[in-house]
Amino acid sequence: MSIIFAKILGKFTLSSLYNGPITTGAAVSMVLIVFGLVGYLFYTKRWKWLYREWLTTVDPKKIGVMYILVALIMLIRAGVDALMLRAQQATSVGSSHGFLSSNSFQQIFSAHGTIMIFFVAMGLMFGLINLVVPLQIGARDVAFPRLNATSFWLFCAGMVIVNLSLVIGQFSAAGWLAYPPLSELQYSPGVGVDYWIWSLQIAGIGSLLAGINFTVTILKMRCKGMSLMKMPMFCWSVLGSMALVIFAFPILTATLTLLYLDRMMGTHFFTASGGGNIMMYVNLIWAWGHPEVYILILPAFGVWSEVVATFSRKRLFGYNSMVYAIWAIVLLSFSVWLHHFFTMGAGADVNGFFGIMTMVIAIPTGVKIFNWLFTMYRGKIHFATPMYWFLGFLVTFTIGGVAGVLMGIPPVDFQLHNSLFLVAHFHTMIIGGVVFGYFAGITYWFPKIFGFKLNERLGRYAFWCWVVGYTLAFVPLYILGLMGATRRVDHYSSLLGWQPLFVVAGIGASIIALGVATQVLQFTVSIIQRKKNLDTTGDPWNGRTLEWSTTSPAPVYNYAILPEVSDRDPFWAMKHNKDAALTNTPHYQDISVPKNTPMGLFIAGFGFLLCFALVWHIFLLGIVGLLGLIFSVIYFLSEDDTDAIIPAAEVKKIETAAAFERAYA
Amino acid sequence: MNRKYKIALVAVLILGFLLSAVLYLHTTNIAVLNPKGPIAEKERNLLLFALALSLVVVIPVFSLTFVFAWRYRETSTKAKYSPDLDGNRIAEVIWWGIPTIIIGILSVVAWNASHTLDPYRSIASVNKQMTIQVIAMDWKWLFIYPKQNIATVNYVQFPDNTPIDFEITSDAPMNSFWIPQLGGQIYSMPGMSTNLNLLAYGDGNYRGSSANISGTGFAGMDFAAVSTSQASFNQWVQSVKQSPSKLTQSEYNKLDQPSQYNPPSYYSSPLQNLYYAVLLKYMGPIGSMGTTSPTNSMQMSGGYMQ
């Protein structure tokens, strides 16, 4: 009898559902929100619409919107985590031990890091790439549209697994990279680390597939005349980032598999004893982890290149240099991973080598900064919100970069490693570089996708909240690090005098939260007042690249007539030369677009079941998940009739309507 | 309230904030910038040198950002507008060149410093080097003095101006051994032995901690590192030797149980070769604690990391 139960329930018991008042409270509120949404969909009878328009869509623009929506919801989830961490560290001093247990605190920072990197930063990145890349290269779609939908749903499955750990069982308490032997069965016997492994595993496979997809898209689907050296800089940086995805993510997949084998099968790849080597894991995870940082930042660099050129009304300065810099960064990013553990005790030669490589990577990055600056030189700068984010980025990113160069010197790193100085450094890079970049990108391309601009005033308020909040939240952490405060402590002695700084950091985090609230308000107000901010021209910012030449919102096929380019800033050239392409009467043809398919949803759904079963060791569910996965992949691959035709007459109708609106708005 | 007063109010508030920040920082110990030994001192100087060198790039970036943003704003009527300006060979050579020179200088400095400040390197001194063995446990630090034949928990004392060679391993998940005012950290890893050579200039009491997450009680792994005169140190050793608690196998097994926020404790006559036994526990097949001779394990551990 008990064997049957074990096959059905695995390691699950009723006590897995209760993990103390705070966790359970969070879990209950999350479940209520999900039920509320489901109820709302039934009430408004929107299921069919949701299924047809969104769940089965293969349109990269819609997939991009869904990526960004999920990422913003996760930003709020992991942001609440951050507030709890700050509240604990501001109050847990001396005789007070704060409101969180050590274990809860450790689960929270592990979840915060994991979610912020994998489901916020990666989500925003893939979202923007989906929205922009096909439009910028003058293509109608990505190379493998159905695979693209699958990537998104795998990403979602990973997101669900991470959040499910809040409701059933608990999450990993071993930090966002789960170093062994702490993450091994001996020291983390619960399901937490398994949740972490399978969440990243399934999301990581989605990322790898997306990486392949966009590499092929950029290499093979550019419109006529767009040689590589005429590509918009955003596409170049995406190409660099996707190359890194292709080379780095398999390392993550392999490493996580080995760790799971240790935990599930009793192998000894990374155990402390039995011939395992814990530092092998640390090397492998950073061989993925360091390129991952550049995977996130490169597309943000691309956003800056577009934003600064557009709003300075000027060509991008030093295009060739920018391209070389991207590829220098791509290559170098695989030769610096050891700087994450100079303190391992490797010899001076090894540390010296990786220290130098680390500093060398600052050169191409510095070059990019100067090129952006000189794009502003002799421009006519229009200070829209994306430009505010850009200036905020320049200042914060330079400070973070200096902190990075300091830590690139091994003996200096011995003093700063694992301290709050390090925490402040990478938050400076990721908030100031990555997050600011994607916020700027969202504001910039929003009208192209939705047909109206975001409210500028609220956007500026949000920006100021973020910048002020960021400064108050992280400058104290730099100082605390120099005082010897290590990361991840849930308690410290009152004699150290650290509390005032932790309190200021907590205030800073709250101001950032206010910024996020302002952004939610910005979206809401902009949607309500969309009539006021309609973009009827398709070119709300006086843009330079191809995407601004089509209507806003862009039609499902992006371009009624595939464009042909001869300039790096083709749309700018068209506008200023009164190019023939703008004035000729167009001759429309049938357009073939991929049909919607639920297969991505099915593959990710069965994948989710399989991962969930592997977390809880539920044998029967695992079989169901695995078989379902295999059959849905086979079905997915053998589907023939995947395209639909939009007849030329229909295209003409859509285009004439858009032209009419443009003329009479 | 008119605009002038508002600006003045904001300025006063910011000034007050900065002033209290300065006062606060003045009274708090910024450990890394307040070194008490040659290693920490050189590491601090290196940090300040690299920071100063970075300013060669940071200052132009910050000033250009604000100057360009102001001068080339849309509403400015005086500024020149050259929409097709998209490169300048000389300018680009400058900003590939200058960072390369700075990083070149820093690279030489980093390479040399990696060697001179290598944690394995013994510190030259007129006084003879002393070895202290360190075992990270769940969740406390065990210090063994092989020559003095004593052991302590969460407290380590040593003579000043004497090079100390900490031999470090772990009987628990990975930790990181860090006394910021004396020098940078190094990992303590099960089955591996690392070394950290430190020296304290004078008498003092410095905070040490674990810098790497090792489980629930990790935040409570603070310890006191105390440097005193040789005479006081000898006196202290004698007093610990009188301690009735001996670090026997059964006492060690008790210590091996997870515990949090342990106050300092002192042991006389610790088990012989305990450090190597702990190291070996993870190197051979499981459960082989103490079956190989210590000399063997020393070669193995030494050969492993270096």
Scanning every residue of chain A, which has its alpha carbon at the shortest distance from the alpha carbon of B95?
A367
Among A256, A242, A107, residue whose Cα is nearest residue A170 = A107
Return the bridge partners of B175, or none.
B188
* B88 Cα to chain A: minimum distance (Å): 7
Residues A415, B119 contacting (CB under 8 angstroms): no
Note the pLDDT of residue B287.
47
Start-to-end CA distance of chain B, whole Å, equals 70
Percent of chain B at pLDDT > 90 equals: 80
Quick count: other Cβ atoms within 10 Å of Cβ B76? 13
Scanning every residue of chain A, which has its alpha carbon at the shortest distance from the alpha carbon of B138?
A187
The span from the CA of B243 to the CA of B239, in Å, is 7
| Interface contact B95-A366, CB threshold 8 A | yes
Query: CB-CB: which of A349, A355, A419 is closest to B211?
Result: A419
3-state class (DSSP) for residue A294: helix
| Interface contact B219-A490, CB threshold 8 A | yes
Longest dimension (CA), chain A: 81
pLDDT at B300 over 90: no
The span from the CA of A97 to the CA of A489, in Å, is 11
Q: Which residues of chain A lie closer than 8 angstroms to B218, CB-CB?
A: 102, 488-489
pLDDT at A581 over 90: no
* A213 Cα to chain B: minimum distance (Å): 32
The span from the CA of B195 to the CA of B177, in Å, is 10
The answer to whether the Cα torsion of B202, B207, B210, B213 is positive or negative is negative
Residues A489, A463 contacting (CB under 8 angstroms): no
Does A468 reach chain B within 8 Å, measured CB to CB?
Answer: no
A246-260, A290-304, B15-29, B30-44 — which is least confidently predicted? B15-29
Q: What are the strands, taking DSSP E only, across A292-385?
A: none
| Interface contact A174-B213, CB threshold 8 A | yes
pLDDT at A645 over 70: yes
Residue A55: DSSP 8-state: I
What would the two tokens of residue A469 be? 């909040």
Q: Which residues of chain B lie closer than 8 angstroms to A343, CB-CB?
A: 176, 184-187
Q: Band the pLDDT of A97: cuts 50, 70, 90.
A: very high
Residue A339: DSSP 8-state: G
3-state class (DSSP) for residue B151: strand
Does A491 reach chain B within 8 Å, measured CB to CB?
Answer: yes
Does B241 reach chain A within 8 Å, measured CB to CB?
Answer: no
Note the pLDDT of residue A11.
81
Entry pTM: 0.94
pLDDT at B290 over 70: no
| Interface contact B286-A274, CB threshold 8 A | yes
* B238 Cα to chain A: minimum distance (Å): 30
The span from the CA of A304 to the CA of A438, in Å, is 9
| Interface contact B47-A187, CB threshold 8 A | no
pLDDT at B286 over 60: no
Chain A 498-527, CB below 8 Å of chain B: which residues? 498, 500
pLDDT at B21 over 50: yes
| Interface contact B31-A182, CB threshold 8 A | no
Start-to-end CA distance of chain A, whole Å, equals 72
The span from the CA of A194 to the CA of A11, in Å, is 12
Among B116, B134, B178, B217, residue whose Cα is nearest residue A481 = B178
Q: Band the pLDDT of B259: cuts 50, 70, 90.
A: very high
Query: CB-CB: which of B50, B69, B88 is closest to A412?
Result: B50
What does A408-470 look like in DSSP terms, one character per residue?
HSHHHHHHHTTBHHHHHHHHIIIIIIIIHHHHHHHHHHHHHHHSBPPPHHHHHHHHHHHHHHH
Which H or E element spans position A644? strand A643-646
The span from the CA of A621 to the CA of B106, in Å, is 57
The span from the CA of A473 to the CA of A558, in Å, is 42
3-state secondary structure A187-204: CCCCCHHHHHHHHHHHHH
pLDDT at A584 over 70: no
Does A486 reach chain B within 8 Å, measured CB to CB?
Answer: yes
- Find which of B22, B46, B61, B63 to mutate to test the A interface (most A CBs within 10 Å of its CB): B61
Residue type, A34: V
- Find which of B20, B32, B58, B154 to mutate to test the A interface (most A CBs within 10 Å of its CB): B32
pLDDT at A119 over 70: yes
A7-11, A123-127, A519-523, B135-139 — which is least confidently predicted? A7-11
| Percent of chain B as helix, strand, coil, to the nearest 5 | 45, 20, 35
- Find which of B19, B71, B95, B260 to mutate to test the A interface (most A CBs within 10 Å of its CB): B95
Does A318 reach chain B within 8 Å, measured CB to CB?
Answer: yes
Note the pLDDT of residue A382.
96
Q: pLDDT averaged over chain B?
A: 90
Q: How many CA atoms lie within 13 A of A335 on its CB side?
A: 15
CB-based burial label for A48 (10 Å; 0-12, 13-18, 19+): exposed
> How much is the average pLDDT of A379-390?
96
Residues A238, A214 contacting (CB under 8 angstroms): yes
Residue A646's contacts (CB-CB under 8 Å, 6 or more residues apart) are A556, A557, A590, A591, A592, A593
Residues B236, B157 contacting (CB under 8 angstroms): yes
| Interface contact A415-B180, CB threshold 8 A | yes
Does B207 reach chain A within 8 Å, measured CB to CB?
Answer: yes
Note the pLDDT of residue B291.
41
The answer to whether the Cα torsion of A425, A428, A429, A430 is positive or negative is positive
> How much is the average pLDDT of A109-125?
97
What would the two tokens of residue A5 be? 């139960």
Model confidence pLDDT, tens digit, residues A432-443: 999 999 999 999
User: Where are chain B's structural domains?
Assistant: 34-116, 130-305
> How much is the average pLDDT of B121-131?
95
Q: What is the ipTM of this complex?
A: 0.93
| Interface contact B80-A417, CB threshold 8 A | no
Chain A 247-286, CB below 8 Å of chain B: which residues? 272-274, 278-279
Does A648 reach chain B within 8 Å, measured CB to CB?
Answer: no
Return the bridge partners of A452, or none.
A534
Q: What is the distance of C-alpha A545 from the center of its chain? A: 24
Give the CATH number of domain B130-305; options: 3.50.50.60, 2.60.40.420, 3.40.50.970, 3.40.50.720. 2.60.40.420
CB-based burial label for A644 (10 Å; 0-12, 13-18, 19+): exposed
Scanning every residue of chain B, which has its alpha carbon at the shortest distance from the alpha carbon of A271?
B282
pLDDT at B298 over 60: no
Note the pLDDT of residue B297.
41
Among A196, A157, A250, residue whose Cα is nearest residue A610 = A157
| Interface contact A497-B27, CB threshold 8 A | yes
Does B289 reach chain A within 8 Å, measured CB to CB?
Answer: no
Q: Which residues of chain A lie closer than 8 angstroms to B38, CB-CB?
A: none
| Interface contact B219-A362, CB threshold 8 A | no
Quick count: other Cβ atoms within 10 Å of Cβ B303? 8
Does B28 reach chain A within 8 Å, measured CB to CB?
Answer: yes
> How much is the average pLDDT of A492-511?
96
Q: Which residues of chain A lie closer than 8 angstroms to B47, CB-CB?
A: 406, 409, 412, 415-416
Does B122 reach chain A within 8 Å, measured CB to CB?
Answer: no
Residues B220, B129 contacting (CB under 8 angstroms): no
3-state class (DSSP) for residue A317: coil
pLDDT at B109 over 50: yes
Cα–Cα distances (Å) from A392 to A78, A133, A218, A303, B73, in that order, read 23, 25, 30, 14, 16
- Find which of A172, A483, A492 to mutate to test the B interface (most B CBs within 10 Å of its CB): A483
Note the pLDDT of residue A579.
55
Crossing angle of helices A192-220 and A122-136, rounded to 10°: 10
- Find which of A112, A182, A475 to mutate to test the B interface (most B CBs within 10 Å of its CB): A182
Residues B193, B304 contacting (CB under 8 angstroms): yes
**Gyration radius from chain A CA atoms:** 25
| Interface contact B189-A363, CB threshold 8 A | no
CB-based burial label for B242 (10 Å; 0-12, 13-18, 19+): exposed
Does A484 reach chain B within 8 Å, measured CB to CB?
Answer: yes
Scanning every residue of chain B, which has its alpha carbon at the shortest distance from the alpha carbon of A182?
B173
> How much is the average pLDDT of A321-331?
96
The span from the CA of B269 to the CA of B241, in Å, is 7
Note the pLDDT of residue B273.
94
pLDDT at A270 over 60: yes
| Interface contact A359-B31, CB threshold 8 A | no
Note the pLDDT of residue B43.
97
Residue B135: DSSP 8-state: E
| Interface contact B184-A394, CB threshold 8 A | no
The span from the CA of A652 to the CA of B295, in Å, is 86
Note the pLDDT of residue B245.
93
The answer to whether the Cα torsion of A527, A533, A538, A540 is positive or negative is negative
Q: pLDDT averaged over chain A?
A: 93
pLDDT at A488 over 70: yes
3-state class (DSSP) for residue B149: coil
Does A185 reach chain B within 8 Å, measured CB to CB?
Answer: no
What would the two tokens of residue B161 be? 């101006």
Range A388-410 burial, b when 16+ CB lie within 10 A, else e: bbbbbbbbbbbbbbbbbbbbbbb
User: Which runs of consecutive H residues, i.e. helices, occur in B72-180?
Assistant: 89-116
pLDDT at B91 over 60: yes
Model confidence pLDDT, tens digit, residues A514-542: 999 999 999 999 999 999 989 888 899 99
Does A69 reach chain B within 8 Å, measured CB to CB?
Answer: no
Query: Residue for token digits 């006559």?
Result: B269
Model confidence pLDDT, tens digit, residues A135-156: 999 999 999 999 999 999 999 9
What does B223-292 look like in DSSP terms, one character per residue?
EEEEEE-HHHHHHHHHHHHT-S-B--HHHHHHHHS--SSPPPEEEESPPTTHHHHHHHHTTSSTT-TT-S
Model confidence pLDDT, tens digit, residues B145-195: 999 999 999 999 999 999 999 999 999 999 999 999 999 999 999 999 999
Q: Which residues of chain B lie closer than 8 angstroms to A102, CB-CB?
A: 216-219
What does B52-76 look like in DSSP terms, one character per residue?
HHHHHHHHHHHHHHHHHHHHTBTT-
Scanning every residue of chain A, which has its alpha carbon at the shortest distance from the alpha carbon of B99?
A363
> How much is the average pLDDT of A231-255?
97
